[in-house]
Amino acid sequence: KRVGVLISGSGTNLQALIDATQDSTKHIGAEIVLVISNKANVEGLKRAQTANIPTKVLNHKDYANRVEFDRALHDELVKAEVEIVCLAGFMRILTGEFVGKWKGRMLNIHPSLLPLFKGVDAQKQAFESGVQVTGCTVHFVDEQLDNGAILVQDAVPIKPDDTLESLTKRILAAEHQAYPKALHLIATGKATLGGNNQIVWSDN
Ligand code: GRF
């Protein structure tokens, strides 16, 4: 399957996806054909270039509104014949129109065990809440923020001597395992989004 990855920053999750998809022994069933960033000169773009993956910068500030920006985004993905979209630290809220076009074909990764701790600074929210376990979630994207059907989760313990930094690092390491796993599941059809917005598992 042809994958487009949307980023805004450092792109360590993008790197995990690049490494997994370029490792022929892993049989992920997907190749990254385009990386789009809404910010120029970010580390993630360099990672894509190093891996010889085409990149595109679409600055949201160059568009009149979200609808126009998302239409430009969609056009680029269609032009590259993208079949699956992975959001990897993409810090823009997407319009319902865009989300609808990619329904069942777009994933996001979030640094908490959803539905807990949605939105920004999820690691900090968990750290300050007193929970002893948090983690990461890969989910299908729907119209609500950090809300769609959950595809892969991994738990990460919060240890008594953790700082927010050490916890964030451990969650990120879990993300790098979870995202390729989730991409593999949908690229190979082992998981799809059913009509009732729940995951349908198949053992093909
Ligand atoms: C990750 O923590 C991800 O869960 C969140 O943004 C961060 C992106 O990090 N959505 P990176 O750009 O992949 O390094």
Dist. CA 6–CA 33, nearest whole Å: 11
Residue 186 tokens read as 């949908």
Among 74, 110, 139, 184, the active-site one is 110
Predicted local confidence at residue 109, as pLDDT: 98
Radius of gyration of the chain (CA): 16
| Model pLDDT for residues 47-88, shown as the tens digit of each residue | 999 999 999 999 999 999 999 999 999 999 999 999 999 999
User: Which DSSP helix (H) or strand (E) runs through 78?
Assistant: helix 66-79
Per the confidence metrics, is the pTM higher than 0.90? yes
pLDDT confidence band for 204 (50 / 70 / 90):
low
ipTM: 0.95
User: Which of 34, 36, 32 shows the shortest CA–CA distance to 21?
Assistant: 32
Query: For residue 104, with 0-12 CB atoms within 10 Å meaning exposed, 13-18 middle and 19 or more buried, which class applies?
Result: middle
95 lines ligand 1 (CB under 6 A): no
Predicted local confidence at residue 140, as pLDDT: 98
Predicted local confidence at residue 21, as pLDDT: 98
| Model pLDDT for residues 22-38, shown as the tens digit of each residue | 999 999 999 999 999 99
Dist. CA 12–CA 183, nearest whole Å: 15
Look-up of token digits 């790197």: 15
110 lines ligand 1 (CB under 6 A): yes
Domains of the chain and any CATH numbers: 2-111+136-152+180-201 (3.40.50.170)
| Model pLDDT for residues 138-156, shown as the tens digit of each residue | 999 999 999 999 999 999 9
**Which of 45, 175, 177, 183 for mutating ligand 1's site (highest number of atoms within 8 Å of CB)?**
175
Give me ligand 1 centre to Cα 103, in Å.
21
Query: Cα 125 to chain center, whole Å?
Result: 20
